[in-house]
Structure 1
Amino acid sequence: MTELQSAFASQVPRCPKLLTCPHSPKKPGIYQPLVQRFLQEYVGAEPQSLEDARPEGVDQHVSTRNELQQEIATGRHFRALSAAENVGRSGLAHTGRCEQLKRPSLRARAQRTGDSIREVLTNNPSVQRRARLVDAAAHFSHVTPLNLPFPYRIEPPEDEDGETKSFHVERWLSEREPLDEQPPAPVPETNVNVGCLKKYSRDKRDIPRELIALSDSGLRDCFPQLAIGDAFVQIGAPSLSADEEVPVRSVSGAEVAVRQELVDVLTGHSVLMATGEGVEIPYAPWSLRYSGHQFGVWAGQLGDGRAMSILEASHPSNPDLIYELQLKGAGRTPYSRTADGLAVLRSSIREFLCSEAMHALHIPTTRALSLVHLPELHVIREEIFSSSVGGQQAANYDALRILGEWVHRRVLRLNLAADAPWGKALVMDCARRNAQMVAGWQAYGFMHGVINTDNVSIMGLTIDYGPYAFMDIFEPMHICNHTDGEGRYAYKYQPTMIAYALRALLSSLSPLIGAETEFGAAVKAGWADGVSKEKIEGWTKKGAEVEEEMKAEIEAVMEKEYKTLFRKRLGLKTEEPTDANTLIRPLFNLLQSHKLDFHGTFRRLCFFRPTLLSSDSADGLTAFIANLAANSFEMSTDDVDATKDWCAWLAKYMERVEKEVEAGIWGESAGEDVWVEREKEMLRANPRFVLRQWVLEEIIKRVQDDVGTGKRALAKVHEMATNPYESWGAENDKRSDSELSDEEKEERRFCGLGAKTLLGFQCSCSS
């Protein structure tokens, strides 16, 4: 298989996962849109007195970034921002350069960190690639992208001793590190401020790379100021029916250069950094360190094994909204264990499409930006690895405090008083966010497949798309991951597994919550130093008492959101206590007993009218039920029991709908206009296009067979996935198939159930 590089965006920071305890100038290259920094005041005037993690400059805790950022002055095009308001306007020099750090202690520490990073890349680069147990105080490790097959093909001379061979390995890796500064892509404007970062690469990093997908929706929502050159021209017009490439418009050399720079950065071929001599504010890519449970078993240190964050950027319309740009499949990190850190084409296409599809369904998610094909970089998959980084570490309670402070201030923005306890508030906010997210999963038939705790976001975002699937024929016990033999992560159990992850988060924070309960205030630096084991256990027990309150909150938020979403899908504006028992559960029973398609059924219900139940509309009702039967490979149009069951449910459904209409909830008029309005509302809540397994398998094969035409088909599926409620394929059009265009025919096919053999298709964790 060939390797693919993908770029994803999430609200900053994506870190931490559970249980880890862009206004810009007019038209820059890639720098100015992405260099804008988020400044955050951090408690205390001096750096925290944590022992520096080793190796110096590589493994860091989050306070390092907070401390170094709190006195940064950005270029003349950028603003200094805190989480809640503009800060430090006086004393900040807007001169188009990075101002000196004012505190000598921070300046010295920044210089040391910057020098250390470059020193590592020059003399000891293997520390970034070796699987190792990282210092307990570290929350992330600096690591540069490196697209190479693993194990690395390094052949030191046979006659050299061990020490010399070790030097040869370091030199071989260093020759492939981004140590040579490169000029930025030319842009029409002059005197352009490129901020503090510079572009670095090296000749030996050069491999063929081709942009095959760029998300217009991700670009629009997350990085609207990002210069992309002729990227969309190079990809081509979205099409499912075109078999050949079509002529494209001519482009300027500047457009090509900007697009190539974009591709270079989004593959990790070029790296934006601020390191080395004279650098005031060090900045380099990083991978997160975290731990967690996998399939219910404690797995110890995990971390980002193939993901690296490369930049942060404020959104131009909302400077407080920060997005983090991350590469997936960027090579080995200290957390890769025995894996290569790379990503294959099929898994990357799946994640690229689903990230944007979920956003279009209004389900919280990370976002996708790009896919870049690396055709000459081959990887090996479907080999089972069972080893991991072993070893146990003593709890580092101050590292827990630092991480928690980062999360509640910079990630969740809880806006608590300076000394107010935050542990319980953090857990409860995280619980509410994830309860709302999983309600969206259930309402739209999304199955994640691997809800290990490291795949659950502190922000309640859907992350780490692996063997996911959308429900086809409704089956509550469906398992989309063939690795999940026991059905731990089946559709029915997803809310339970999210609650499990939240209990694990609470378990990590329990001693801190207990201590804050006793102190009546937020814990301070060194809060657990010298404290007895018995005292820690007491705090832990006290903190664990929050579980019942958290459980009740999860259930309440999830039930409310779940019912709200289903009422929307059924075209109901009001809530009645009997809805679950008279409408929702009976509908699910119908779907399951008659093996009907989940999404297709809801879409067809959009076109139902109460007149179909009158004695004068027998033919119309028969035709409607036959249309429902088309959503199944099992139900037949002359199924007497199915017809009887549907008539009974539709009668209760129309009784409920007409009650709203008669109450004037849909307007004063009770004529046809009401039903037209309801139909429009329901069509906006029930997707016509669903990212089914057969669609993914076909589009993956198209790209594998022919990247040139495949990327256009990929672009079309992306367009359909990001506009799922549109009437693709001339929906309800009275024309015959022979009268439809080739593109309309393909759209219609892509909105169907597909082949029976691919219903319930399962993927693996490496998908």
Structure 2
Amino acid sequence: MPSHPTIAEAAPSSGLRWHNGFAALGSAFFTELQPTPLPATYLVATSESAARWLGVSPPWLRSEAALQVLSGNATLAGMRPLASVYSGHQFGVWAGQLGDGRAILLGETDAGIEVQLKGAGRTPYSRGGDGRAVLRSSIREFLCSEAMHALGVPTTRALSLTGSPAPVYREEAETAAVVTRLAPSFIRFGHFEHFASSGRQAELQQLADYVIDRYYPECRSAEATAHLGGNAYAALLQAVSERTAALLAQWQAVGFCHGVMNTDNMSILGLTIDYGPFQFLDAFVPGHICNHSDHQGRYAFNRQPNVAYWNLFCLGQALMPLIGDTAHAQAALESYKTVFPARFLARMRDKLGLLQPGPGTDADQSDGALVDALLQLLAQGGVDWTIFWRRLSQARASGDYEAAGDLFLDRDGWKRWLLSFKERSDPTDQALAADLMLKANPKFVLRNHLGEEAIRAATRGDFTVLHTLQSLLERPFEEHAGQDAHWADFPPDWASTIEISCSS
């Protein structure tokens, strides 16, 4: 029997057809290889939402054929598995060549969705690693990918999570797992940096043309390039800057810390990618560092917007051989500085239920001051981010703000802010505003301790905690009556002792 068979599908069929656009770029961009099989694989979890997007049925996803494909033990006819090469800056330092060290792209469907296995074995870019992922970190990635999607934050998706008793050694021996990830593209800033750093302008242009033609065709229009000297590559930099700005505004609004915003972890499509040492804020501490490996605090929560701009600057440098004119590159990057604050203020208005900008010509300034005053008050008291916003939403619906106020030690400061908030709010649209707030402020997020509980149970072979948590995170704005006491409550004291690092 071949070590890596191709499945000739019988019923139920996946129904997928393969296009493989990235593979058409040529061997300079990747190495073709097969995933490394795992023994005794089993299904841990699937996402029906992601399956619908991909276009596969639940029966196929639960089939033995699917288990083998999604564990890296077999392929479907038409797939062209490969690992891509890229470079990048890690913690602000040039790291040189990197690449898909434990991710293998199975192919792209004719609907334009790439299917990638994370943890599928060693590649030429593993840099001495084993190419595997452990169950612990794979649970976190699976859950957070789908949680972010449900929150409305652009993200790669997680179709499935499979496990194996095969040992994987990190700080200690753990068991292997594979996450099947989906995205229109997994191309990163680092792909461009790779070819720019080695002076390979032909490949750099080929990659840029591919990205523009596939994902940003508007960058070739006269309207998009008029202020950039007609340069489509400068227009690409501007479009990526604006998508990244919008993404960061959503991260900050929902209290999401990525933890490792290296340039090789930045999506060219403005997606959240590579869930490693992430965290949703518990207490609002602006300088919170979620990554135990981040000794300098480079990727602290309040630094994320500036780091994103720094990463875009690196992308701009990589694209300079194609842009040519420094002024055009700077103009493209400048868009980030206007889009981010505008999008962040828009997200905060939604969270506050402000249906329209305030009156007068300085509406943004006055609303911004209201937001800033609240953020200072939250930071001063270390108020729980998610619980505060949910209580404020409920208070807007009921008119009783006592439960929200109970979160603050500075009661006088809270009362002063609440008075300003009520003066700014439109009393005639109370129900509409409350509805907006309840749809902008989730009740459930993937707190670290909840993920840890799912992990601890899973290591005992119990996946019920994971499945319960997944069902709540897939509908985070709903009440799910009876689930408050645990899943939406304050974190326990032991949560502060959880350490998440780059190996997580």
Give the structure 1 partner of residue 169 of structure 2: 380
Residues 259 and 299 in structure 2, CA contact (< 8 A), matched pair in contact too: yes
Show the counterpart of 1:714. 466
What is the aligned length? 462
The equivalent of 1:653 in structure 2 is 421
Contact map agreement 1:62 1:139 (CA 8 A) in 2:
no
Counterpart residue type for residue 279 of structure 2: A
Q: In structure 2, do the counterparts of structure 1 residues 63 and 488 end up closer, same or farther at CA, with 3 Å as the change threshold? A: same
Over residues 586-628 of structure 1, what are the superposed CA-to-partner deviations in whole Å (9 max), with x where a residue is unaligned? 111111111210111011011225996xxxxxxx6655523x3
How far is the alpha carbon of 1:382 from its aligned partner? 2.8
Cα contact 2:377–2:413 (8 A) shared by 1: yes
Alignment equivalent of 2:493, drawn from 756, 760, 766: 756
Q: Is residue 625 from structure 1 mapped to residue 390 from structure 2 by the alignment?
A: no
> 1:472 touches 1:760 (CA, 8 Å); kept in 2?
no
The Cα of 1:143 is off from its aligned counterpart by 1.3
Tell me what 2:184 maps to.
none
Q: 2:25 aligns with which of 53, 58, 63?
A: 63
Aligned to 2:175: none
Aligned mate of 2:459, from 704, 729, 748:
704
Which residue number corresponds to residue 290 of structure 1? 86
Bigger CA radius of gyration:
1
Matched to 2:440, the amino acid is: A
**What is the rounded CA distance, in whole Å, between the counterparts of 1:721 and 1:368 in structure 2?**
13
Find the aligned partners of 1:624 and 1:227 in 2 and give their Cα distance.
Answer: 42
Instruction: Show the 5 A alignment for 1:362-511.
Output: 362-375=152-165, 377-382=166-171, 394-414=198-218, 416=220, 421-511=231-321
Could you tell me how far apart the structure 2 residues matched to 1:225 and 1:370 are?
Answer: 12
Letter aligned with residue 727 of structure 1: E
Please report how far the alpha carbon of residue 560 of structure 1 lies from its aligned counterpart in structure 2 after TM superposition: 1.2
Q: 1:442–1:621: structure 2 CA closer, same or farther, 3 Å change rule?
A: closer
Inter-CA distance 609–30: structure 2 relative to 1 (3 Å threshold): closer
Supply the distance in 2 between the matched residues of 1:313 and 1:680 (Cα, whole angstroms): 38
Aligned-residue offset at 1:225: 3.3
AA at the equivalent of 1:270:
A
Q: Deviations along 1:188-238, whole A, 9 cap, x unmatched?
A: xxxxxxxxxxxxxxxxxxx20110100112112x2233453483xxxxxxx
Deviation at 1:714, TM superposition (A): 1.1
Structure 1 unaligned runs (5+)?
A: 1-26, 40-59, 65-136, 149-206, 232-258, 275-282, 316-321, 384-389, 515-541, 613-619, 630-634, 636-641, 662-669, 731-743
Structure 1 residues 416 and 591, CA, compared in 2 at 3 Å: closer, same or farther? same
3-state DSSP class of the match of 1:138? Answer: helix
Contact 1:287 1:307 in 2 (8 A): yes
- Tell me which amino acid in the other structure corresponds to 1:307: A
Letter in 1 for 2:216: L
Quote the Cα distance in structure 2 between the aligned partners of 1:595 and 1:366: 31
User: Residue 213 of structure 1 aligns with which residue?
Assistant: 45
| 1:62 Cα offset (Å) | 4.5
| Paired amino acid for 2:288 | H
Are the equivalent residues in 2 in contact too, given 1:30–1:262 (CA < 8 A)?
Answer: no
Tell me how far apart the structure 2 counterparts of residues 712 and 501 of structure 1 sit (CA, whole Å): 39
In structure 1, the partner of 2:16 is 34
Q: 1:360 to 1:379 in 2, by over 3 A?
A: same
Of 475, 479, 484, 1:723 maps to 475
- Residues 83-129 of structure 1 show CA distances to partners (whole Å, capped at 9, x for unaligned) of xxxxxxxxxxxxxxxxxxxxxxxxxxxxxxxxxxxxxxxxxxxxxxx
Contact 1:141 1:287 in 2 (8 A): yes
Q: Are positions 1:228 and 2:38 aligned together?
A: no
- Residue 108 of structure 2 aligns with which residue? 312
The aligned counterpart of 1:278 is: none
**TM-score, structure 2 length as denominator?**
0.86
| 3-state DSSP of counterpart to 1:371 | strand
Give the corresponding residue for 2:349.
Answer: 567
Task: Determine the C-alpha separation between the residues in 1 that align with 2:11 and 2:237.
Answer: 41
Look up the SS of the partner of 2:113 in the other structure: strand
Shift of 1:550: 2.9
Report if aligned partners of 2:51, 2:58 keep a CA contact under 8 Å in 1: no
- C-alpha deviation, 1:413, in angstroms: 3.0
Query: Is residue 143 of structure 2 the alignment partner of residue 143 of structure 1?
Result: no
**Structure richer in helix, relative to its length:** 2
Q: Match of 2:384?
A: 597
**Secondary structure, in 3 states, of the residue corresponding to 1:545?**
helix
Root-mean-square deviation (Å): 2.6
**Hey, what does 1:193 align to over in structure 2?**
none
Aligned residue in 2 for 1:555: 337
Percent sequence identity is 38
Cα distance 1:62–1:414, how it changes in 2: closer, same or farther (>3 A)? Answer: farther
1:249-398 equivalences under 5 Å are 259-273=63-77, 284-315=80-111, 322-375=112-165, 377-382=166-171, 394-398=198-202
User: Displacement of 1:680 after TM fit?
Assistant: 2.0
User: Cα offset for 1:748?
Assistant: 2.9
Paired residues of 2:149 and 2:157 also in contact (CA < 8 A): yes
Amino acid at match of 1:63: L
Preserved contact between residue 34 and residue 311 of structure 1 (Cα < 8 Å): no
Check the 8 A contact 2:30/2:84 in 1, yes or no: yes
- Residues 48 and 58 of structure 2 are in contact (CA less than 8 Å); yes or no, is this contact kept in structure 1? no
Determine the C-alpha separation between the residues in 1 that align with 2:446 and 2:352.
21
Q: Sort the Cα spacing of 1:574 and 1:230 in 2 relative to 1 into closer, same or farther, 3 A.
A: closer
From 415, 422, 441, the equivalent of 1:686 is: 441
1:244-300 Cα deviation digits (max 9, x unpaired):
xxxxxxxxxxxxxxx0001011011112355xxxxxxxx520111111110111111
**Counterpart residue identity of residue 225, structure 1:** V
- 1:753 shift after superposition: 1.6
Show the 5 A alignment for 1:513-524.
513-514=323-324
> SS where residue 591 of structure 1 aligns?
helix
Aligned to 1:587: 374
What is the CA–CA distance in structure 2 between the aligned matches of 1:307 and 1:485, rounded to whole Å? 27
CA–CA distance in 2 between the matches of 1:416 and 1:623?
Answer: 53
Assess, with a 3 A threshold, how the Cα gap between structure 1 residues 38 and 304 changes in structure 2: closer, same or farther: closer
- In structure 2, the CA distance between the partners of 1:747 and 1:577, relative to structure 1 (3 Å rule), is closer
SS in 2 for 1:360: helix
2:72 and 2:120 in contact (8 A); partners too: yes
